[in-house]
A and B are shown apart, each in its own frame.
Chain A
Amino acid sequence: MDAPTANRQGDLLRFITCGSVDDGKSTLIGRLLHAAHALPDDQLAALADESRRFGTQGEALDFALLVDGLSAEREQGITIDVAYRFFATARRKFIVADTPGHEQYTRNMVTGASTAQLAVILVDARKGVLTQTRRHSHIVSLLGIRNVVLAINKLDLVDWSRERFEQIERDYREFAQHLALHQITAIPLSALHGDNIATRSAHTPWYTGPSLLQHLEHVEPDMAAGDDPLRLPVQWVCRPGHDFRGYAGRILGGSVRPGDAVRVLPSGRQTTVARIVGFAADAAQAVRGESVMLTLADDVDASRGDVLCAANDPAGVADQFETTLIWMDEAPMLPGRPYLAKLGTTTVGASFSAPKYAIDVNSFDKLAARTLELNGIGVANLALDRAVAFDAYAANRDMGGFIVIDRYTNRTVGAGLIHFALRRSQNIHWQAVDIDKQARARQNGHRPAVLWFTGLSGSGKSTIANLVERELHALGARTYLLDGDNIRHGLSKDLGFTDADRVENIRRVGEVARLMVDAGLIVLTAFISPFRSERALARSMVEDAEFIEIFVDTPLAVVEARDPKGLYRKARRGELKNFTGIDSPYEAPQSPELHLDTTTQSPEQAARAIVAALVARGIVRAHD
């Protein structure tokens, strides 16, 4: 694309608009599109028609209707998702992320802000700086946007008052001292009537600054320094034949030339760039934002997820971090639960500590919290299954921002910003010892294992586990039974029965079971353990063949009829909260090693079946 015409249109500005329906945000965007001639005649005709049918502006065009895309939104009169709009002037092309402003849509605003270079924050001139103005500004600043336009709208409704405009601007600047904004530009507007949108309005002769569109055309957002070090995550390795190995990826920082020294992280191997492979011809240089294909001088073993860095200024490598976390899913964040994190081109197992604090999105005060709910923002430590290359979010958005993915629903449930690596991740190492698990197993005469019983309260887990332990003991096996009630009296007596506490309880039991397996024991655990994720976590702590998941399957109606401890009656009366099966879910195992139907077999039969399965798996030997 060396044709000069490709450059003629100038560059690209991505910005976000923040404000509520009442502030006239949709009207403002409609006006901008109209001013930039981005509205074709047939769309204008459709708009005139819809304005008469649904509009709130009488015979005048209701620009808000133009940008409320989904029919559900048009019916409810609100914008509930991020929509992207496009327009161009002779100087620049623009991509607008149009996001809703209500508190319950924080996740949409964060999404829109993550790719924006500038934010237009709307204020109703009659109302001034409100709680929501502060919320929008905090989020914009948190996500790393440094340039803000304070669009003071509806000035026609305050008689074009200069005093009112200047008062709001002063209020905002005073509040914004706490934020990391570099440039604030206040502009007096009437989006409804088009004042100061494309050209300066005769209604505000006292205002000498640019119109909104003029400002957007000329502003130079300061997102990244030009001399930042090279960051290139390997996205795809290109091997069309034996004599070519190319590393494809997008440059997320700095620039690269053939001959540059680069370091491959996390391995740390150093080499130099041989070629920047082009479609028609090789390139002499490539810069931040470009998608490139490099070849390297040495045969280093780089693969997807590795990051090529400037050798003299490489990224950090760590597996534990302090982060700001924004939660985006209906199901709350549960400390200790295994999730996946995607950072650059790496996807890796991840879990979070309990939040150090949550952040009130309106005041940005720090609040105590044990979880994060949908739209919650907080600071928590992140632990990854393995070390990855990273930069602090403040230094490089694309190297320090990550998304959180649920392992089972595959939904994107959160987004995070890395503050810094925790030092201890570099200093704590697993202590190697001489007498290992195999040595202990030989002396014991059987292999270690975890028999993980799961099922509803009253299904018979403890009864069956107890019988199994007696049989194993009789066979000479070294065993230990971890029972739910007993653990709750000691190790986990500080925990309640919320989802977060259940996750932490199972994490502790999993850790204890792991140590006991390492000691060579056959560990029996009898816990409801209602969530698949935590059972998967416990499974991941030991070797594959060592984990036997035993589903004690008894229908709710049957356990409720049995109700040996009277708990179901209490739960039905509302005296027990978060009771599994009543007001808290039980996620049945999908492929347990053993599935026991207690409606067709007695506890003794079930116990014999389990011991037989252990013999068949070679964990214990039957008496000859």
Chain B
Amino acid sequence: MSALSHLRQLEAESIDILREAVAEAERPVMLYSIGKDSSVLLHLARKAFHPARVPFPLLHVDTTWKFRAMYALRDRVAHSGQFDLIVYHNPEAQRLGINPIEHGSALHTDLWKTQGLKLALDQYQFDLAFGGARRDEEKSRAKERVFSFRNRQHHWDPKQQRPELWRLYNARKGPGESIRVFPLSNWTELDVWQYIRAERIEVVPLYFAAERPVVERDGALIMVDDERMPLRSGESIQIRRVRFRTLGCYPLTGAIESDATSLDAIITEMEHTHSSERQGRVIDRDGGASMERKKSEGYF
């Protein structure tokens, strides 16, 4: 068919989606999670609208428990002058002092992230939000549309999804309703890394292997990123050579042992790896339909 390489086809499709959404939306926003998918999305947005400035702000729904290296990259992005960045903290979670250590991953994630996102979208009246989710991440994501419709309560109804044909996206909605748009729907984890290498995109250094202080907890390697993490009895901090495949709140994110210190090494490791990306995420493990339930409640 076409002479375009696989990565260039994915890039062209994502740029098409970004432009189409901007043309149809009134107040678009991009959810920025500081992870590798967000970095790719940000890069695609710059390409899509060049030479104009990216015509929407970035929204970071913060939990105050991200890795320090993530905050450092976020601040560099903000200070680059290329983007308008909004950082949102759910005031209720802040007031209650919700944290993953005392309150557990479910409550922490729900209040800071799920509820925080809904509050932020309502407060700023955004009618369309870009996210970096991919269909290869999880079974229920495999059926989500590129333009995913949410009702006034931000709920997702898998039975009411609009058919998506050809390259035609239906972005029409009623007052108060909104749309989540996923330009990376058809990318895989390997595609993301190959693209990061081909385009020399900056990512958080935690993706590369280094000697880091970790504890073994519930079968995962948790990095002790600051003094807020108390050790349980019997736990001790060890220095191990680790890296992260996904990034989130540091007490909820497991590292893997690895020697991959470069993009080439990461890609080689990926091509031979036999565990899935989200394995390190503590929040995904509660039951088979866990993600589908969180999504219908409004989680990204």
Contacts and interface: CB of A to CB of B under 8 A. Distances in A.
Interface of A: 1, 3, 5-7, 9-12, 37, 40-43, 46, 50, 67, 69-72, 74, 81-86, 88, 92-93, 95, 107-108, 110-111, 114-115, 117, 220-221, 223-224, 235-236, 238-240, 244, 246, 248-250, 252, 277, 279, 287-291, 293, 304, 328, 340, 342-343, 345, 347, 397-398, 401-403, 405, 410-412, 415
Nearest to A96: B142
22 contacts: A6-B5, A9-B7, A11-B6, A69-B143, A70-B140, A71-B288, A72-B158, A95-B186, A108-B163, A117-B1, A277-B51, A279-B50, A289-B2, A289-B9, A290-B4, A291-B48, A328-B163, A343-B168, A398-B166, A398-B167, A412-B162, A415-B165
B161 interface: yes
Interface string B163-193: 1111110101110000000000110101100
A340 B168 CA distance: 13
Contacts of B162: 411-412
B12 A290 contact: yes
B143 A7 contact: no
Interface stretch (B69-77, B98-106, B107-115, B270-278): B270-278
Contacts of A250: 12, 15-16, 167
B172 A402 contact: no
A3 B197 contact: yes
A342 B197 contact: no
Q: Which 6 A-B pairs have CB atoms at the shortest separation, nearest pair first?
A: A40-B276, A71-B289, A291-B15, A240-B52, A114-B165, A410-B172
Contact of B7 (A6, A117, A415): A6
Interface string B1-37: 1111111111111011001101100000000000000
Nearest to B134: A86
A289 B135 contact: no
Given A69-B139, A239-B52, A289 B276 contact: no
Nearest to A234: B23
A240 B53 contact: yes
Given A40-B276, A236-B19, A410-B173, A6 B186 contact: no
Nearest to B172: A410
B142 A115 contact: no
B47 interface: yes
B142 A287 contact: no
B51 A238 contact: yes
B227 interface: no
Nearest to A46: B288
A6 B8 contact: yes
Nearest to A240: B52
Contacts of A72: 158-159
Contact of A10 (B6, B22, B174, B188): B6
A381 B149 CA distance: 30
Contacts of A279: 46-47, 50
A442 to B, nearest CB: 41
Contacts of B159: 72
A114 B163 CA distance: 11
Contact of B198 (A6, A221, A410): A6
A120 B12 CA distance: 26
Nearest to B264: A5
Contacts of A10: 5-6
Contacts of A288: 2
A3 B281 CA distance: 33
B142 A111 contact: no
B194 interface: yes
Contacts of B297: none
Given A10-B5, A279-B47, 15 more contacts: A7-B5, A11-B9, A12-B10, A40-B273, A42-B275, A82-B163, A107-B163, A115-B165, A246-B51, A250-B16, A277-B51, A287-B3, A287-B4, A401-B166, A410-B172
Contacts of A69: 139-140, 142-143
Given A5-B194, A290-B12, A291-B16, A70 B50 contact: no
Given A42-B276, A85-B142, A279-B50, A5 B198 contact: yes
Which of B11, B12, B166, B198 has the most chain A CB within a 10 Å cutoff? B166
A42 B273 CA distance: 11
A41 B274 contact: yes
Nearest to A221: B1
Nearest to A239: B52
Given A10-B6, A69-B140, A86-B188, A42 B48 contact: no
Nearest to B22: A236
B199 interface: yes
A32 B5 CA distance: 22
A397 B198 contact: no
Interface in B127-143: 135-136, 139-140, 142-143
A353 B244 CA distance: 58
Nearest to B49: A238
Interface in B192-226: 194-195, 197-199
Given A70-B158, A410-B174, A111 B292 contact: no
Which of B8, B190, B273 has the most chain A CB within a 10 Å cutoff? B8
B9 A12 contact: yes
Contact of B19 (A85, A221, A248): A248
A304 B47 contact: no
Contacts of A86: 135-136, 186, 188
A324 B164 CA distance: 17
B258 interface: no
Contacts of A410: 170, 172-174
B271 to A, nearest CB: 9
B70 to A, nearest CB: 25
Interface in B146-164: 158-159, 161-164
B246 interface: no
B279 interface: yes
A3 B198 contact: yes
A244 B49 CA distance: 13
Which of A6, A41, A85, A114 has the most chain B CB within a 10 Å cutoff? A6
A117 B9 CA distance: 14
B194 A9 contact: yes
A252 B5 CA distance: 17
B169 to A, nearest CB: 8
B5 A9 contact: yes
Contacts of A50: 288
A107 B164 CA distance: 10
A250 B10 CA distance: 13
Contact of B6 (A93, A236, A293, A397): A93
Nearest to B167: A398
A345 B51 contact: no
Contacts of A249: 19
A329 to B, nearest CB: 9
Contact of A287 (B2, B163, B276): B2
B170 A405 contact: yes
Which of A10, A40, A67, A252 has the most chain B CB within a 10 Å cutoff? A40
Contacts of B198: 1, 3, 5-6
Contacts of A347: 172
A494 to B, nearest CB: 34
Contacts of A107: 163
A72 B293 CA distance: 12
A384 to B, nearest CB: 15
B145 to A, nearest CB: 9
Contacts of A239: 52
